[in-house]
């Protein structure tokens, strides 16, 4: 029993289950808004609630598992990642492959029970979110690919409820793309020297820290612009606009932390962005229930 618990803890460390907080709120934001428009109620039902959670978790586990498998040679040369389970032997390459395949099949299985369009999109989605692992080996646009991977969450959410992809969901997703790419740029500043040494492609290694921080700010300004467009085109009300305003303030605080002290990158990355998604979701729920 102890060995099973230890192995589960190792897989938890491998894919960092708690970081699902970045994608889960936005799949449910799209589901709440879509349900309000289609069903006249923010509640989309227990079935879709459970399937939405499993879809988000299996997709993310697939992406993280595949990334850790592909990056095990790179992680072994990076002092920041050398103690990860994919490097130190706690999880073997074959175990990572089984884990990755199981989650890919799980995602397709869940999509089958959602609707036909979800099933048709399931494999293309897996291809897109899996491609991130390759991009940093030949393109500094890998940050954008990571952003696109998480931006698929709102699209998946609205497809689950309505089997359509309305314009507001695209605006919401593009905002998520720039949000994720922007904070990934800040997080990547930690590896700027290692990326240069190993010949990996990233915006920090190509343009330097100062320009990277400026690009991150631009990305986050675009985030707010597209989330504002989402609020306008979805017919949302006061609380949705409040969510956009609070997001702008939180992203400003994130940049303040990193500008003040690079050692605050973890706090900016995990804490600020984690709360941002939760607050956004809560306000969208309120907006669709009480307004």
Query: Which tokens belong to 9?
Result: 């803890």
Closest CA to 134 of 207, 62, 69: 69
CB 159 within 8 A of CB 117: yes
Domains and CATH numbers, the chain: 25-290 (1.10.357.140)
The interaxial angle of helices 238-260 and 167-188, nearest 10 deg, is: 10
SS3 of residue 252 by DSSP: helix
Spell out the per-residue pLDDT of the chain, length 291, in tens.
666 677 777 777 777 766 666 778 999 999 999 999 999 899 999 999 999 999 999 999 999 899 899 888 888 888 888 888 888 888 899 999 999 999 999 999 999 999 999 999 999 999 999 988 788 788 888 899 999 999 999 999 999 999 999 999 999 999 999 999 999 998 888 888 888 888 888 899 889 989 999 999 999 999 999 999 999 999 999 999 999 999 999 999 989 888 876 666 666 667 788 889 999 999 999 999 976
How far are the Cα atoms of 137, 149, 178, 225 from residue 142, in angstroms, in the given order?
A: 9, 11, 12, 22
Q: Give the chain's length.
A: 291
Query: Which tokens belong to 150?
Result: 């998480």
Query: Which tokens belong to 4?
Result: 């099973």
Q: How many helices (H) and strands (E) does the chain have?
A: 15, 0
């Amino acid at each position: 029993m102890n060995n099973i618990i230890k192995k589960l803890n190792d897989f938890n460390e491998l894919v960092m289950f708690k970081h699902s907080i970045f994608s889960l709120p936005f799949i449910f934001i799209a589901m709440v808004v879509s349900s309000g428009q289609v069903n006249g109620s923010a509640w989309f039902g227990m079935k879709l609630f459970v399937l939405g959670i499993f879809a988000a978790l299996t997709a993310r586990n697939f992406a993280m598992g595949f990334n850790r498998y592909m990056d095990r040679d790179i992680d072994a040369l990076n002092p920041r990642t050398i103690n990860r389970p994919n490097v130190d032997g706690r999880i073997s390459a074959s175990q990572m492959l089984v884990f990755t395949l199981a989650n890919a099949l799980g995602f397709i299985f869940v999509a089958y029970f959602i609707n036909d369009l979800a099933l048709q999109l399931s494999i293309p989605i897996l291809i897109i979110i899996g491609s991130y692992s390759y991009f940093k080996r030949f393109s500094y646009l890998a940050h954008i690919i990571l952003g696109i991977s998480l931006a698929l969450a709102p699209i998946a959410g609205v497809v689950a409820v309505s089997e359509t992809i309305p314009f507001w969901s695209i605006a919401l997703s593009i905002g998520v793309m720039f949000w994720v790419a922007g904070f990934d740029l800040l997080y990547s500043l930690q590896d700027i020297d290692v990326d240069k040494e190993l010949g990996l492609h990233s915006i920090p290694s190509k343009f330097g820290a100062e320009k990277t921080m400026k690009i991150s700010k631009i990305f986050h300004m675009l985030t707010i612009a597209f989330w504002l467009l989402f609020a306008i085109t979805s017919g949302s009300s006061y609380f949705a606009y409040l969510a956009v305003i609070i997001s702008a303030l939180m992203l400003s605080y994130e940049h303040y932390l990193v500008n003040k002290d690079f050692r605050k990158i973890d706090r900016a990355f995990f804490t600020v962005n984690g709360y941002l998604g939760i607050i956004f979701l809560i306000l969208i729920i309120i907006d669709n229930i009480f307004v």
